[in-house]
Structure formats: C-alpha cells, structure tokens
Amino acid sequence: MNKRRLLLLLVIIIAIAGYFGYKYMYHDHRDISSEAAQIELPSADLLQLFKESETPSVLDGTVQVSGSVTEVDANSITLDNNVHCSFEGEVSDVQINDQLVIKGRCIGYDDLFELVKLDQSTIIK
C-alpha cells in the first residue's frame, strides 16, 4: 500500500511538472500590432540611438517609426535607408518616397549595413 501511494504521488508530481513545462515552452506569442508603442521617433533618431548606446532600452520593445520609404520588397520596407521593417504578409500600395509611420518589434542593429531591424511590422499611416 505504501509503494502504491508513493507511485501515485510520483505520477502526480510528473504530471504537474509536465503541465508547467508545456506552458513555459509553448506560451502565447506577443501581438505587436495591438501593443502600445514604447517609443515614437523618426527613423534617423532610432538609428542614432543604436549608434550611441551599446544596448538600447528599445531592444525587443515595440517601436513606432516614421520616415520616407527608400526601398520596397515583397514583404519588407526600408525607411530613409536607416530602418528595415519586415512584415508577415505582402506589402501592397506602398511606393518609394511615401511618408509612413510603422510600428514593429525592434530586434537589433546590423553593423554591416547600418540598419535598425524591425519585425512583425504594421503600417499605421
């Protein structure tokens, strides 16, 4: 009887650990389009922030950037040759030299191309 209780307790502990492990590994993803922007600034100022600081506070945060479109690809836009914004779907009805405001998650700075990278972007205006 004592071994049976110990085995039952062990099974319960493993089930609880498995549940919390699963919840930790497969938690819901962030919805950047519904989050409020942590900071709103022009694309040149965002680039300058990365050049001046080793680890800026906007890293992995929601950022709203404004600027002129300098490059358009199938699912990405570059603003003022400073900020590269990746979208989950295709980008349509955007022309070079359009003035846009884009919200996205700041994922880092590319030293080689001197571009700040945003993903999960959404066009605001």
Q: How confident is the model at residue 33 (pLDDT cuts 50, 70, 90)?
A: confident
pLDDT at site 28 = 74
Q: pLDDT tens digit string along 10-30?
A: 999 999 999 999 988 887 778
- Ordered by where they begin, the domains of the chain are 32-123 (2.40.50.140)
Q: pLDDT tens digit string along 42-89?
A: 999 999 988 888 777 888 899 999 999 999 998 999 999 999 999 998
pLDDT at site 101 = 95
Q: How far is CA 116 from CA 14, 16, 33, 54, 81, in A?
A: 44, 42, 19, 13, 9
Coil, strand or helix at 44: helix
pLDDT at site 8 = 93
